[in-house]
Amino acid sequence: MLLDQSGAKHHILDCGERLIANKGFVGVGLAEILSVAGVPKGSFYHYFSSKERFGEELLVRYMARYLARLDALLQVDGTPARTRLIRYWSYWNITQCAISPDGCSEAAVGAKCLIVKLSAEVADISETMRLSLRDGTDRVVQRITQCLEEARMDGSVPTTLVADATALTLYELWLGASLLAKLRRDGSPFDHALRSTELLLGSPGI
């Protein structure tokens, strides 16, 4: 199948993301990306000056897609803000427990969270990739904070709740649950995280 330049670059990123989501950034070599994508080395370097640059673009693209999905989950739709927050955590649970098929299909790409997969790894090997993830996760916490403020206003969480501190605590809780789920190979950490989330959000209207 022939692809135009934009399509070819997107295809390489899709295939690289799927591989890296499973094996990590260091665990995937350039040769493997080229083989799965079915492109020569020259095509890769036409779009990316290095593997690190490829990683940067991959993360920027991933975070943009992640934030767009988060915005859709948290958008004002007539339901209490607390319900919208729980919808996000439920989505997190589903996507982190999902087992996606091999390959480069759209369904496979993004099935696993690159934030969870790469945060510890790239922080030690690439400053630019670390900053991409740091800035992206800061935006995630900002969106959770905003939804918590809306929850305080609509009475679905206590008015005394401190939105920014709670948002950070919740995000850290779910990141930790994701790591434990990998170690245990089951969803029990997410069940615990959801119960803890409900406790942190408190009783409505207090």
Q: DSSP string spanning 7-30?
A: HHHHHHHHHHHHHHHHH-STTS-H
Q: What is the pLDDT of residue 206?
A: 56
**Six-digit token pair at 58?**
């991959």
Mean pLDDT to the nearest integer, 64-80: 95
**Spans of all domains in the chain:** 56-201
pLDDT grade for 109, boundaries at 50, 70 and 90: very low
Share of the chain above pLDDT 90, in %: 71
What's the pTM?
A: 0.86
Inter-residue contact 136 to 186 (CB < 8 Å) = no
The correct CATH number of 56-201 out of 3.40.50.970, 3.30.1490.270, 1.10.357.10, 1.25.40.80 is 1.10.357.10
Inter-residue contact 47 to 39 (CB < 8 Å) = no
Averaged pLDDT of the chain: 87
